[in-house]
């Protein structure tokens, strides 16, 4: 199944930024924060990152492109999801320049683009760990609406 982010997921990702997790080829986990995130396609999220944010994970991503992320701040509770996919690093080009301009207040050094392949629920309780990307997009939307009604920024 393909992943199509819901309106609520998009709102939380873009409002709160995200914690990004990667691993070295040896399996050492690394975590950093990106304060600016933008959903660029229904199944893609781009992060405008300053040198200090990307510096921690850049070498690992170039060797192991798998990235997992969750929404930062209160979003970790209200947007109980883990998103996973393959990342690519952009340092120049039209996509880089476009996101750099959108990321006001961020000294963008790099854009990390993540093409989503997996989606999990991290809500505490019986649903923790439930894989949502195996559901049809309409089913994910209905599943979410049965649990939450808040859409950030609305």
What distances in angstroms separate CA 129 from CA 80, 112, 141, one per listed residue? 10, 25, 17
In the prediction, which pLDDT does 124 show?
85
Residue-wise pLDDT for 90-141, tens only, equals: 999 999 999 999 999 999 999 999 999 999 999 888 888 999 999 999 999 9
pLDDT at 1: 55
pLDDT tens figures, 23-70: 999 999 999 999 999 999 999 999 999 999 999 999 999 999 999 999
State how far the Cα of 63 lies from the Cα of 53, in Å rounded to an integer: 18
pTM for this model (two decimals):
0.93
Residue 94: the pLDDT is 97
The closest alpha carbon to 42, from 96, 69, 3, belongs to 3
Q: What is the pLDDT of residue 76?
A: 67
Q: What's the pLDDT band for 150 if we cut at 50, 70, 90?
A: confident
Residue ranges of domains in the chain, CATH in brackets: 7-145 (2.30.110.10)
Question: What is the number of helices (H) and of strands (E) in the chain?
Answer: 6, 7
Sheet holding 44-49, edge to edge: 29-34, 18-23, 66-71, 81-90, 110-121, 44-49, 36-41
- Indicate whether 153 pLDDT > 90: no
């Amino acid at each position: 199944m393909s992943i199509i982010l819901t309106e609520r997921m998009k709102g939380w990702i873009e409002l709160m930024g995200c914690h990004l997790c990667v691993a070295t080829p040896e399996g050492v986990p690394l975590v950093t924060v990106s304060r600016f995130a933008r959903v660029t396609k229904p199944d893609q999220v781009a992060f405008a990152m300053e040198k200090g944010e990307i510096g921690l994970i850049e070498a690992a991503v170039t060797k192991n492109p798998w990235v997992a992320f969750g929404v930062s701040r209160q979003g970790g509770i209200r947007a109980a999801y883990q998103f996973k996919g393959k990342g690519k690093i952009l340092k120049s080009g039209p996509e880089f320049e476009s996101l750099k301009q959108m990321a006001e207040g961020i000294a963008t050094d790099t854009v990390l683009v993540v093409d989503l392949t997996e989606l999990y629920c991290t809500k505490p309780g019986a649903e923790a760990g439930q894989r949502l990307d195996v559901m049809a997009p309409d089913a994910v939307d209905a599943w979410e609406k049965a649990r939450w009604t808040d859409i950030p920024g609305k």
